[in-house]
Amino acid sequence: MAIVTISHEMGSGGAEIGMTAATRLGYTYVDHELLLKRAQRYGLADDRLSHLADSQPSWAERFDGETRRYIVALQAVLWEFAQDDEVVLMGRGGQWLLRDVPHVLRVRIMAPFPLRVTRLTETLAAQGQERVTPKIVAQFIRRDDIQKAARMHYLFAVELKDPSLYDVLINTATLSCEAAVQLLVDVSRRPELATTAAARQLVADRVLASQVEVALAGHPSLRRHWIGVEASHGEVTLELAAGVDPDVALAVASGITGVQNVTLRIAEILVSPFPG
């Protein structure tokens, strides 16, 4: 069965579509709350974890060694959910992180801006928030659009709206939520999206690599250094830049469950995965 990643614009109906599709497929629905709940096992502060899950780091946070630990932990959790298989992953860059996994269906749900404002205004009014006006809602949606795009660009140096990041683009001004759900259910069940043993191993390797990255980013003497991590069937390779203590890096990586052997190599060119 497929893994479904959904990127959606506020007011487009994406959350409703994702949740309903997950229910019909019998998949786990992974939203903001569930992602943060699992991420807590890495010992991260709830408020900062929630902030970095939705927004790009502030200018000051970019120079804080802890910021990278939070970001790689969130990415590790996304990979862990992907390893569970049969999940609908809402946002958080899944369309980019899981781009090489063959059984991932990458979806973008959108709608024209005026329609999104109207829908969200009606929703909030129905919830009893009488003081909400279309103008306030428009500002809220515009800010959310900007934050999501900025976070995507900061983390992965790609544009959120780039159609090449997605397999399916859904405009809910044209398709109803019901039609969108049925489309996702039907496509997710296609044989070409069936999980293979090779694909499962690919995800398992990425999970192990990401868990090693979290451990390295959490070590006091390593957190300010970029260290490349690759994993294959329990064999981990660390690419170290100048200034990194190889013995410490080796010890930290070797302590992660599932790591069978660690190989070190010196990086020729240092390229940070966190632009800015």
Tokens 């859904």, located at residue: 170
Q: Is the pLDDT of residue 56 over 80?
A: no
Residue 265's alpha-carbon distances to 219, 269, 275, in angstroms, are: 19, 12, 23
Q: Is the pLDDT of residue 146 over 70?
A: yes
Tokens 């390229």, located at residue: 271
* Mean of per-residue pLDDT scores for the chain: 90
Yes or no: say if 168 and 106 are a contact pair by the CB < 8 Å rule.
Answer: yes
Please report the pLDDT score of residue 106 as a whole number: 98
Look up residue 48 and give its two tokens.
């900062």
Look up residue 142 and give its two tokens.
């515009």
Yes or no: say if 189 and 3 are a contact pair by the CB < 8 Å rule.
Answer: no
Yes or no: say if 76 and 93 are a contact pair by the CB < 8 Å rule.
Answer: no
The burial class, CB within 10 Å (0-12 / 13-18 / 19+), for 172 is buried
Look up residue 165 and give its two tokens.
């990041």
The residues that bridge with 230 in the sheet, in sequence order, are 237
Amino acid in the structure at residue 122: E
Q: Is the pLDDT of residue 276 over 70?
A: no
Beta strands at 227-232 and 235-240: parallel, antiparallel or unpaired: antiparallel
Q: Does domain 3-27+86-193 have CATH number 3.40.50.300?
A: yes
pLDDT tens digits, 109-128: 999 999 999 999 999 988 88
The model scores a pTM over 0.75:
yes
Look up residue 219 and give its two tokens.
């070590």
Distance from C-alpha of 171 to C-alpha of 108, rounded to nearest angstrom = 9
Please report the pLDDT score of residue 274 as a whole number: 47
* Cβ neighbours around 213 below 10 Å, total: 25
pLDDT tens digits, 59-68: 666 666 678 8
Reported confidence tier of residue 243, pLDDT bands at 50, 70, 90: confident
Cα dihedral 243/245/246/252 (nearest 10): -130
pLDDT tens digits, 2-55: 899 999 999 999 999 999 999 999 999 999 899 989 988 888 777 777 777 777
Yes or no: say if 225 and 243 are a contact pair by the CB < 8 Å rule.
Answer: yes
Give me the residue spans of the domains in the chain.
Answer: 3-27+86-193, 197-266
Yes or no: say if 111 and 9 are a contact pair by the CB < 8 Å rule.
Answer: yes
Which tops the pLDDT comparison, 68 or 230? 230
